[in-house]
């Protein structure tokens, strides 16, 4: 993994931090993508101490802001000519309906649309790598998800579970369609279910709501390091160098829902996503 440049979104805690540490221990140069400078700096210190690596860099990006994502991608491309691995790990769960700065329902906005734009903006560097890899952290929750075309940002009848499941289905539809579009290149893209991991994803950062429930259930969860194992495997293993457009669980290809296998749905959803973020063809070069 030496001299490989790898990027992890949502790297300041949980699986993102565990993934960063695991990759750095293998000798990779890791770019930690974090929304908060303060939390990012704290995580950076922890990652360096835990991995013993000096090849870890913090870069700030808010995946809930299209403007921030475009600024971040331009900054990254001014520093690096290629990117070997992009791990789209960041995710949110919102108990009440919230929106991003661009007006998207926050789970659709961060879990899917933010990563959709970021990935497309970094396709140039990924294609310039010897073998670029894109790893998308999804969830088994995708199996009950559906794209609510009549109201994709859930302005009516919002529930956290409905929004989360929709965003996780979105991750897999994105993976499937991107694999089709990357055919003939050296870039692969795969999604994964990390298992039930005890992270802060469902805890309200402002009020702390959810911490007591998390503490009670933690003994039944995987640790962040255990949850990160499949993402690290997809980023580094030679066994999956030719795998693309797949969904993994416990380092093995796993079945997906009928909706997640729908090629027409994936193509239609790609076009919708591109329209939402205002993606221009020139931006993917």
Q: What residue spans define the domains of the chain?
A: 5-284
User: Domain 5-284's class?
Assistant: alpha beta
- 31-58: pLDDT as tens digits: 999 999 999 999 999 999 999 999 999 9
Segment 145-172 shows an average pLDDT of 96
SS3 252: strand
C-alpha closest to that of 248 among 85, 138, 90, 119: 138
Specify the length of the chain in residues: 285
Q: Name the pairing type of β-strands 252-253 and 247-249.
A: antiparallel
Pairing mode of beta strands 188-193, 133-137:
parallel
Q: What is the pLDDT of residue 221?
A: 59
Question: Strand 56-60's sheet: what is its strand order?
Answer: 56-60, 29-34, 5-9, 85-88, 133-137, 188-193, 247-249, 252-253
d(CA 19, CA 224): 8
User: Looking at 158, 164, 233, 249, which residue is catalytic?
Assistant: 164
| Position 254 confidence tier, pLDDT thresholds 50, 70, 90 | very high
Q: pLDDT band at 229, cuts 50/70/90?
A: very high
Q: Report the alpha-carbon distance of residue 228 to residue 137 in Å, rounded.
A: 9
As separate numbers, helices (DSSP H) first and strands (DSSP E) second, the chain gives: 10, 8
Tell me if residue 249 is catalytic. no
Average pLDDT over residues 148-173: 96
């Amino acid at each position: 993994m030496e001299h490989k440049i790898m990027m992890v979104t949502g790297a300041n805690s949980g699986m993102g931090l565990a993934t960063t540490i695991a990759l750095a221990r293998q000798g990779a140069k890791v770019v930690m993508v974090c929304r908060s400078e303060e939390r990012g700096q704290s995580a950076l210190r922890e990652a360096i101490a835990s991995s013993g690596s000096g090849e870890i860099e913090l870069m700030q990006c808010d995946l809930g802001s299209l403007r921030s994502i475009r600024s971040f991608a331009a900054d990254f491309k001014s520093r690096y000519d290629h990117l070997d691995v992009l791990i789209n790990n960041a995710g949110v769960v919102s108990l009440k309906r919230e929106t991003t700065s661009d007006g998207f329902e926050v789970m659709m906005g961060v879990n899917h649309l933010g990563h959709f734009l970021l990935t497309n903006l970094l396709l140039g560097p990924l294609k310039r790598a010897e073998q670029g890899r894109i790893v998308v952290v999804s969830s088994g929750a995708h199996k009950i998800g559906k794209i609510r075309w009549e109201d994709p940002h859930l302005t009516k009848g919002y529930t956290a579970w409905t929004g989360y499941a929709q965003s996780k289905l979105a991750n897999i539809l994105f993976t499937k369609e991107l694999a089709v579009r990357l055919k003939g290149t050296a870039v692969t893209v795969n999604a994964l279910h990390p298992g039930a991991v005890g992270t802060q994803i469902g805890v309200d950062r402002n009020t702390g709501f959810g911490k007591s429930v998390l503490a009670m259930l933690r003994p039944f969860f995987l640790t962040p390091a255990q949850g990160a194992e499949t993402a690290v495997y997809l980023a580094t293993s030679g066994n999956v160098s030719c795998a693309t457009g797949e969904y993994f669980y416990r380092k093995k290809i796993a079945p997906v829902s009928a909706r997640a296998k729908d090629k027409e749905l994936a193509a239609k959803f790609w076009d919708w996503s591109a329209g939402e973020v205002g993606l221009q063809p020139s931006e993917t070069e």
